[in-house]
Structure 1
Amino acid sequence: MTARRLVLLRHGQTSWNEAGRAQGHADISLDATGHAQAAAAAPYLAAVRPVALWSSDLARARETCGYVAEAAGLSVKHDERLREFDVGVRQGLTLDEFAVRFPDEHAQWVAGDQPMPVAGGETAGDVCARMMPVLRECLDSLDAGETGVVVGHGASLKVGLLGLLGWDIDGHRDLVVLDNCGWATVERRAGDERIRLAGYNEKVLRSAAI
């Protein structure tokens, strides 16, 4: 059956990814590995013949999407709703630094008692509320048989995906985050309003990306 497909691609690696720092809304660019990952993934994404590209407006997503845009011959629509979680005062900190500076909040975060207890941060519900509409808009804009690609961030894509599928977002910690330049695919078949997960954390082999 003919389906509309949406591919959700996480950005390539940054130096903060490598150091384990919470990026949130920080405008961090790809590092050399991230550029190599994006360059390697782009032909695979172009091969699904996307008709539209959307991206978070943060640098690491924009730069990743640029490789796909060039390979697919498409322009990009940037949308700030596709940004990563706002991680509040945790932004820029490693987990060890977080534990030292905010021990109570760190303990709650590790235990999963609160989805985002740090001052100024978003909850999973907050992120789902802004991700769901834009992902639905992207999918609804496609005609039967068409594919679109959304480039975003690990945690927010995961929560948005769960919401799009109608799964419990409170269980988001039980689903692994997409690897850098890993992607998930959802589809909605003609005559069926259900959105199905067709693939998760697909990626180019590391040896091919570096």
Structure 2
Amino acid sequence: MSEQSTGRVAGRRLVLWRHGRTEWNVQDRAQGQADIPLDRVGRRQARRAAPALASFEPSFIWSSDLQRARRTAEQLAALTGQEVVLDPRLREYDVGIRQGTTFAEFRRSHPEVYEKFLTEDDYRVPGAELPSEVDERMRAVMRDAADALEPGRTGVLVGHGAAMRGGVLAFFDAPPRMREMFAGMGNCAWTVLAEHPQRGWQIVEYNAVTLPDASSSLADEMPPHHG
């Protein structure tokens, strides 16, 4: 880890930590806000990654209330003594009619919606959130977390790959189209934002992991352009 990402600078830090693997990750099914549990590998990933996250000495741990994120966060809480604070703003996209389907199944069952989903900016799949709505709630929770930090302290936010990737851009007021520049976060990977004394907030580490796990899903729960 860099000096900035290990907590030896004066600025504040936010660490965004994606949940461990689930059975639906393996099957490439859109989880959205379905409350799918960690699988055996996901539980192992969370236990393995927790000591690295504990080395940041977090002042707080905020988590999505969906159990795959909550159970991941609890592994860190067990090491730090911090209470896990649940915040629904950290949930994954509500994916509407896509929930529980693979992309192939979605294409076959709703071909017109599928085409619009891939080609139209900020398209609302029936029953789903708009990408811009997710970006806005992620921006809000990340800025609230930053404001809650004392100088030199770190906060950990535990959530979901697609929402967090969009949230990083929203936090910096960057255009959503720039999400194409970011690979999907792997299961139990994390991203570190640190406050530079002159330049403000910066991304100092992205998609970091402990030991790569061949069974970890690197795929987002959305296609790349929807994060």
TM-score normalized by the length of structure 1: 0.93
Q: How many Å apart are 1:24 and its aligned residue?
A: 0.5
Equivalent AA in structure 1 for residue 28 of structure 2: G
Equivalent AA in structure 2 for residue 108 of structure 1: K
Any gaps of 5 or more consecutive residues in structure 1? Answer: none
The yes-or-no answer on 1:171 pairing with 2:173 is no
The residue number in structure 2 matching 1:45 is: 53
The yes-or-no answer on 1:141 pairing with 2:133 is no
Q: How many Å apart are 1:208 and its aligned residue?
A: 10
Q: Is the 8 A contact 1:3 1:188 kept in 2?
A: yes
Equivalent AA in structure 2 for residue 146 of structure 1: R
The yes-or-no answer on 1:197 pairing with 2:198 is no
The residue number in structure 2 matching 1:55 is: 63
Q: Is the 8 A contact 1:105 1:117 kept in 2?
A: no
The yes-or-no answer on 1:78 pairing with 2:76 is no
Alignment RMSD, CA only?
1.8
Q: Is the 8 A contact 1:164 1:195 kept in 2?
A: no
Any gaps of 5 or more consecutive residues in structure 2? Answer: 1-8, 217-227
The yes-or-no answer on 1:97 pairing with 2:105 is yes
Write the distance in 2 (CA, Å) between the matches of 1:114 and 1:166.
17
The yes-or-no answer on 1:9 pairing with 2:17 is yes
SS at match of 1:195: strand
Write the distance in 1 (CA, Å) between the matches of 2:67 and 2:52.
21
Give a deviation string over 1:26-56, Cα, whole Å, max 9, x none.
Answer: 0011000100100000000001111110000
The yes-or-no answer on 1:206 pairing with 2:217 is no
Write the distance in 2 (CA, Å) between the matches of 1:175 and 1:122.
21
Which of 22, 38, 50 is 2:30 aligned to? 22
Write the distance in 1 (CA, Å) between the matches of 2:121 and 2:102.
19
Q: How many Å apart are 1:202 and its aligned residue?
A: 0.3
SS at match of 1:176: coil
How many corresponding residue pairs?
208
TM-score normalized by the length of structure 2: 0.86
Equivalent AA in structure 1 for residue 22 of structure 2: T
Write the distance in 1 (CA, Å) between the matches of 2:47 and 2:190.
14
Which of 118, 121, 126 is 2:128 aligned to? 121
